Amino acid sequence: MPNATLLAISHGTASPHGQAAVAALVAAVAARLPDVPVRLGHVDVQQPDVTASLTAIGRDQPVVIVPLLLSAGYHVHVDLVEQSAPWADATIAGALGPDPRLAALLAARLADLHGGPDDAVVLAVAGSSDERANEDCRATGRMLADLLGRDVEVGFLAAADPRLGDAVEAARSRAERVLVANYLLAPGYFHDLAVQVSAGAAVARPLLDDAPAVELVDIVVDRYRAAC
């Protein structure tokens, strides 16, 4: 599919900071692919939604939908499939994670917290009713543990156990300081919740909290090219 439109689909957020962070990522992808039409839509919260985005592109243009989602759960396996079904030339690429480059970004965010080798590490993830998404997050936790050379427990903010607050408390019983790696794409509701329930633990910034990392742009481009 030469020059298929890249339709990046984010979860959507009410946070202006989060919206700007995701838009900056998509702008960086567009700059990397100057010969490819690049658009941004959302599966929830914001407009345009998937249907409106595809309608604006048109049925005569092939489209690759790249989910700006860190794991492949209900939104990827059900929402995107159902909403793109009327478009014969729409292809859904893989989710952003799990990917070793994301684990490396998580490790870099943790380094900003200036932790020590005896600190416990918990990975904060949103959580999903789709166990496939939760397992994707656990796989990222294992990648991060391998990079750090220490145990990493996954704590979920919704839909699955252990919940992040419980995981932080369990880690605090084993270590004087707890660091929370933030497996969330951008600032917003879940990041605020992670800070709240972590009860004083040091919480790293989301993956998109400044200029988009080259690795994130690379992953989006790689997902697009693989689907093409």
pLDDT along the chain (228 residues), means of 10: 89 94 98 97 93 94 97 88 94 97 97 93 95 96 97 96 97 94 95 94 94 96 97
Q: Could you give the CA distance from residue 219 to residue 8 in angstroms, rounded to a whole number?
A: 12
pLDDT digit string, tens, across residues 42-68: 998 899 999 999 999 998 899 999 999
Q: Output the pLDDT for position 158.
A: 95
Domain range 100-203, CATH architecture: 3-Layer(aba) Sandwich (3.40)
User: What kind of fold does domain 5-97+211-227 have according to CATH?
Assistant: Rossmann fold (3.40.50)
pLDDT of residue 1: 61
Burial of residue 107 (number of CB atoms within 10 Å: 0-12, 13-18, 19+) = middle
How far is it, in rounded angstroms, from Cα 150 to Cα 118? Answer: 9
What residue ranges of the chain are covered by domains with CATH 3.40.50.1400?
5-97+211-227, 100-203
* pLDDT for res 75: 85
* pLDDT tens digits for range 178-213: 999 999 999 999 999 999 999 889 999 999 988 999
Torsion angle (degrees, nearest 10) of CA 79, 85, 89, 93: 30
Instruction: Indicate the pTM of the whole model.
Output: 0.95
d(CA 133, CA 169): 24
pLDDT score of 2: 65
Closest listed residue to residue 197, CA positions, set 173, 163, 174: 163
